[in-house]
Structure 1
Amino acid sequence: MGSGEAARSRRRSSKPQSQSPLNVTMMAVAEEAGVSRATVSRVFHGTTPVAPSTRDAVHAAAERLGYIPNEMARSLAASSSDIIGLLLRGPSNPAYGLLFSELQAEISRLGLQMITVAPSPMEGANFERQALNRLLGLRVGGMFVSTGVIQAEMLEPFLDVVPVVIIGRPENHPRIYSVSYDENGNATLLADAVAAQGHRDVAVVIPNVGSSVAESLRGRVMAQRLEGHGVTVHRIPSPTFGVVKEGIAEVMALYDAGTITAAMFPSDVRLLAFLSHARAAGVRTPEDLSATGCDGVLPGVDLLGITTVRIPVEQAAVRAAAVMQSMLAKPGRIKVEHELLPGTLLPGRTLGPPRGGR
């Protein structure tokens, strides 16, 4: 162990365990990370570029200490605002875009206001953490989080000073209220439909949890459910954040080898990317290869005819807004729940029985 790492280890072991996140200083984070205070300032305020390894070390130290930047702490501690913040993952994604419009309409109907911060679709956890900091710095009275990247532990330092509701993705943190899509149920509906058509060799694209909590869960549950039906599952990992075409080459290789008769994708955007590639390669769906997606919110999804599950975005927006209104009216008195909203199977035309002797 190097001297710098050893020093950081000693600092971690000796730091006060009862210190409030609102009282943790930037200098404390600098000492924990083994960098200068100026470097910590650059990381959180984005004044000049910082090396990725240094940025990661600063964020890790901040998370260990529960650090909230000073201007955010002052704003949050004094806040009684009726402005709600929304941290939104990629509004260009139809599911998130629809949630934004429905939630905005519902918040307005309740007489509240909403400010939205949305990182670039290609930005990962560190950038979403910075977006979270920017949002909190706007002195919001409550916060919606709708992203599959920000983890619950990143939100823990703020739970005592601002109400938080997670929308869409599954969440089981005992202190965070969530209004989520029932991804276990959604994945089960799709896997059962594929197995019922008689498919016995199926490819399933599974993103890692760091890319999307929801899509990773969908993929894993689809694979497990298929195996419960006696289906041979070919798991295709998708580790790269934001790359919807990842896994297509592997699916096509399995098809060309005569190994699979169906492929399952954890989102409709991924499915459409595959269908475009398959058409260019002369592969017909479902005549040659069946394929399914998930979320069902694309405009004209009925005309596209894709086999998917429609997630209840509108219902989630209404419930989340109602919960937030109650939290603002009765601070600290709303029991934390984890609501699960079931989806609806859309049979479509991209799923059929195996053909061609495969």
Structure 2
Amino acid sequence: MPRTRTTAGDRSRGDAPRGDAEVPREGLKIRMEDVARAANVSRATVSRVLVGNPPVAAATREKVFRAVRELGYVPNAMAQGLSKRSSDLVGLLLRDPRNPAYGRLHSLVQEAVSGHGLELITAVPHWKEGAEDELAALRRMLGLRVGGLLVSTGVIKAADLEPFLDSVPVVSVGRVEDHPRIHGVSYNEDVHGAMLADRVASAGHRSVAVLVPTVSVSTAENRRGRSMAVHLEGRGLTVHRIETDAFGQPEAGIARILDLVRDGGVTAAMFPNDIRAMIFLRAARAAGLDVPGDVSVTGCDGIIPGLDLIGLATLRIPVEQVAARGVDVLESLMSNRGGIEVRHEKFTGEFVPGATLGPAA
């Protein structure tokens, strides 16, 4: 590939300030030495500017950043992580961002990480991929030598994270966590399930269908569904647990619940997230069923925009609190490895009344 010959004084062509120095114009092949030559500073100065510590004079910083922009220099994050005792990179393993709850969490984590002066790298496996694919994404991210790891997926098990616990601080965020060595900041799924069950029972329903995905599908949804069912049973209701192990298929179990409604077997259907509830609402309408006349419906998450217009009865998870607290805990761990007691913190959301929950017929 041709190289650009640079001469002093012609900055309009991206030229370096030094004599006849040649600087490669090959994107990722630009080296720190090339930036130093273009900025007329030492390589060590470029490194200090990019790392941000120790402080460098404003004029020198501006020269370095100008050279970085003009040359298109991309720092080697992996090399930087290896050269420092600790890395400013935070890794986030995130589940399906098509789900508004995960998308909102991602945005809030990014904001909180930036507020701590850190950088975020996110790995998002395809939504149809299971635990093995998520583990592969996790290993690739750890290969970048992240200084801390946030895990926000209900697919990977705590045991899958054990091999990495001695190498990098790990915090579970927005997922059920019981492991004694993994810090957890999550939603209080047991309480959430109970809150929703109380609302359904208080509306007079005596026979309820509850969709319960298996742990292999989602630990959070499994916990919510089981909590709903157990609490309803504790209040003397008849509960039809519709279990599903269909990964990446939010419509799974919907047809079975519709059959129960048509047969008069249930008057309410409860779902562990809003997406599943919305799919059921669409299917119920297509089947000519009235909501809540023929069947009441509840979801859980409360993040989808416009839920107030749809009128879905749901529970709004405290994603803002969980994201901020999760990043705070990880930053503390990164600053003080091994000096913080493992805790499993849980935050409780609020019930959102909606037109889809009515009295039993």
Structure 2 residue aligned with 1:131, among 131, 137, 150? 137
Q: Which residue of 1 aligns with 2:279?
A: 273
Question: Percentage identity across aligned positions?
Answer: 55
Report the counterpart of residue 16 of structure 1 in structure 2: none
Structure 2 unaligned runs (5+)?
1-77
Q: Deviations over 1:230-268 (max 9, x none)?
A: 100011011111110011110011011111100001100
**Any conservation in 2 of the 1:186–1:309 contact (CA below 8 Å)?**
yes
For structure 1, the residue ranges without an aligned partner over 5 or more in a row are: 1-71
1:92 aligns with 2:98: yes
Structure 1 SS opposite 2:215: coil
* Distance apart, 1:354 and its partner CA: 1.2
**How far apart are 1:285 and its partner, in Å?**
0.9
Q: Is the 8 A contact 1:287 1:352 kept in 2?
A: yes
Q: Which runs of 4+ in 1 moved over 4 A?
A: 75-79
Report whether the alignment pairs 1:221 with 2:227.
yes
User: What residue is the counterpart of 1:337 in the other structure?
Assistant: 343
The equivalent residue for 2:113 is: 107
Q: Indicate the residue corresponding to 1:202 in structure 2.
A: 208
Instruction: Kindly indicate whether the alpha-carbon contact (under 8 Å) linking 2:170 and 2:183 is maintained by their aligned counterparts in 1.
Output: yes
CA RMSD of aligned residues (A): 1.5
Looking at structure 2, the residues matched to 116 and 304 of structure 1 have their Cα atoms a distance apart, in angstroms, of: 32
Tell me the residue number matched to 1:155.
161
Q: TM-score, normalising length from structure 2? A: 0.76
Q: Tell me which residue corresponds to 2:67.
A: none
SS in structure 2 opposite 1:189? helix
- Displacement of 1:76: 7.8
Q: Secondary structure at the match of 1:327?
A: helix
Alignment of 1:303-318 (within 5 A): 303-318=309-324
Where does residue 352 of structure 1 map in the other structure?
358
Residue type matched to 1:350 in 2? T
Letter of the 1:240 counterpart? A
Is the contact between residue 215 and residue 267 of structure 1 (CA under 8 Å) also seen in structure 2?
yes
Compared with structure 1, are the counterparts of its residues 243 and 164 closer, same or farther at alpha carbon in structure 2 (3 Å cutoff)? same
Count matched residues.
Answer: 283
**Whole-angstrom distance in 2 between the partners of 1:76 and 1:132:** 18
Structure showing greater radius of gyration is: 2
CA distance in 1, matches of 2:302, 2:151: 21
CA contact 1:79–1:141 (8 Å) conserved in 2: no
2:196 and 2:351 in contact (8 A); partners too: yes
Q: Does 1:302 align with 2:308?
A: yes
User: Which one-letter code corresponds to 1:160 in the other structure?
Assistant: D
Residue 350 to residue 326, structure 1, CA distance change in 2 (3 Å): same
Q: CA offset at residue 79 of structure 1?
A: 5.5
Secondary structure of the residue that 2:282 maps to in structure 1? Answer: helix
Cα distance in 1 for partners of 2:82, 2:242 equals: 43
